[in-house]
Structure formats: structure tokens, C-alpha cells
Amino acid sequence: MWKKDGKQYMNPTKLRSIIIKIYQASIFPLASAKMEADANNHRSGKARFPLVDYTVMYFDTFFGLKQLAQQNMIRTVFTLMELYQENNDPVICLFVRLCGLYHPLPTKQVTFCLDTIELTADILSGGGRIFSKPSAFWAQWSTGKEIYIPRDLQDDLTALIFHIAGKATYVEWAEEIYAMIDAMPLLKNQKKGSTTLGQFLLFICEKHLTIDGVYKADAEKAFQEQVNPDGKLSFLEFSEGLKACSSQLYPDEGTIAYLFCRATALQGDSKFSNVQLVQKGAAVLDDERFKGLWVDVAAAVQAYMWHYGHWCRAGVRADGTHIIDDVRARAAGSNVASNEQGKKKGGLVGRPAPKEKRRASTSQHIPK
């Protein structure tokens, strides 16, 4: 089957559409999406599914029949491998790296990337902007079509993503990102200074990886101060070390258990699969297999830096509140209003609005 189906490559636009639906498919009735699953897990105090595990689950759910899901998964994987080698499509290339197929990126970047996409959908939507509402943004992007972000909206978007850093810092980082954007060759119909969403996500992930990496020494110190006389960390000591790491947002108990078990796996003591860990949440602490587990400092630091990190989310304020919560509230309100209007007019609901003239300023989206 691998040999047969692997030769049937997908059209890049179709593949890009599948990737985007994996990220956010709430407008499609047959499947949930990574963003929605992550939000549900967060509310339940559980860790987030790694993207590669969620992708497998998505195919199983979307296609229903095991053989059909497997066939489509094989075609998708082989097409991803082929197009990654060509290095022409940033959305596809980033997905490959986030899944760990080639040149893997830390799993913490999946959450940061998805946060950035939600913030982008918000900043590009509203009266006078490119899209009438976030659902129109997703309706277009999920077809595999490019979405361009003009320079002035890149300013506002960068301010949202790195808000906690303070204005002077995120302005400096924005200039670095713009320099990378300006060095890229323009695509057809692309205006100078603008960037595709795929390119922007690549640059954001690269910047995030750099700024988060400087906290590794702090993490090493935090965990080292908690080791017992044997040089090991129990779950309790590991938890105390996490507190001292001072991440933007302290992980819930289910996520702490997940990080601890991933650290034990790095030492060759893997008791649970990723899916089991996420599904069990904090309940894994009561599992007999969990008792007696320990980690050393190196494994603790590696698990923390790979799966969580200091800059664990995009759009966090200094007081610990999350801009994403405001974004989702606006999106929910927009959908409710749209549905009510559709019922009154008796027309179709949720159709993308025609492109409108964008306002010069989007400052109302920037939190105080």
C-alpha cells in the first residue's frame, strides 16, 4: 500500500487546504480541529496533543474507514516529503517541521504558531479590513489560497504576538522580521512590503525559537536547585523547578505530568504514549506505572525547553491574561451576529464577505 499510494501525489493547493483544516476546521461539520482540541484540553487541565499525533487522529476521524484514512495519510506524507524538498511553500514546509518529519521544530512552537494564526485572523477582520469576520478569513485560507499581510498590519500583529515584551522590544523584533521579509523574492500579485501568512509564520517561529532559547540557562539553574542528594528530580521536585523557571504562564497539573513523563522518556523509561498522557491528564499521577519515576536535570531541561519553554504562548499580557481570550470572544460575537442576520434575511450564513477597503489604522486591536 505504501508503494502504491505513495506515488499518487496531491496538488499543493489541496495539501495546503488539508493542513489548514487540521489547524482550524470548526467551520466544517465533519471534524474538529487542533485549535479547538487545544482549547478544550486547556479548559480540562490537560496537555495539548503533539501535532503529529493529532494529525493521525484527524485523518482517522475525518475519513472514518481505516483503510481510506490510511490511503489518504500515505498520499499526504509522500506529498509533504516531495514538496518540502522543493522548499517553495512556507505553509507546507512549516507543517512538515512542526510534525517533526524533517528538521523538527520544538512542539512548543505549534501552540505559538496557532496563537499567531488566531491573532492574524482577528487583526485582518472587522469593518473596513480585508475580511468581514474571522470565519471569512478561514473560509478563504482553508481553500489553500494565499493570504497577504500588508506592512502596516504586520506592525499591529507583531505588537499582539510579543505584547508582554514591551513596545521597545517588540518594535526591535519587528524590524528584524521585516528585514527577513524584504529579503524574500516577491510572488505574483504580491506588493512590496507585504508578506504571505505562510512566510510570516516561518519568520515568527524563527524569532520565537531564538528568544526562547536564551532561557535555557535559567531552566538549568532552576532544576539544579531542586535536585535531591542523588542528583535526581522526583515529580514534586520537578514541579518546583518548573515554578522557578518563571514561564509566561505556569502549566496546569496535567501539562506538568506530561512534561515529566516526556523527560522520563528521554532517559529511555517511557511508560506512556503521547496520546495516553494527554488523555489521562493529571490522572496519570495515580497510575501505578507513574510511581517511582524520576528524571535528571538534563532530561528535565530538554523536556521543558522542547515542549513548553518560557515564551509558551503568543499574545500574553504582563498581568498573565491572554489576548487570545478577547479574540475568541470577538469571533464568537461576530458569528452570532452573522447567524442572526442570516436568519432574518433568509439567506446563506457564514459566506465570505467581499473584500473591503481597509482602514489605515487598526489600533483598536492593540490592547492597552
Mean pLDDT across the stretch 249-272? 92
Q: Residues 178-227: pLDDT tens digits?
A: 888 888 877 766 777 788 999 999 999 999 999 999 999 999 999 999 99
* CA proximity to 11, closest of 23, 22, 19: 19
Name the least confident of 2-16, 270-284, 307-321: 2-16
pTM recorded for the entire structure? 0.84
Mean pLDDT across the stretch 124-131? 89
Task: Say what the pLDDT of residue 151 is.
Answer: 87
The share of the chain scoring above pLDDT 70, in percent, equals: 85
| pLDDT value at 19 more than 60 | yes
Under DSSP, the state recorded for 164 is G
Task: Say what the pLDDT of residue 4 is.
Answer: 53
| pLDDT value at 364 more than 50 | no
Return the exposure string of 44-79: e unless at least 16 CB atoms fall within 10 Å of the residue's CB, then b: eebbbbbbebbbbbbbeebbeeeeebbbbbbbbbbb
Q: Residues 147-182: pLDDT tens digits?
A: 999 888 888 899 899 988 888 888 888 888 888 888
Task: Look up cell 520565537; give the residue.
Answer: 208
Cα–Cα distance, 322 to 324 (Å, whole number): 5
| pLDDT value at 360 more than 50 | no
- Domain ranges within the chain, ordered by starting residue: 1-104, 109-212+324-338, 216-307
Start-to-end Cα distance in the chain? 56
pLDDT grade for 137, boundaries at 50, 70 and 90: very high
Reduced to 3 states, what is the DSSP secondary structure of residue 305?
A: helix
Residue 237 in contact with residue 253, Cβ under 8 Å?
A: no
Which amino acid type is present at position 236? L
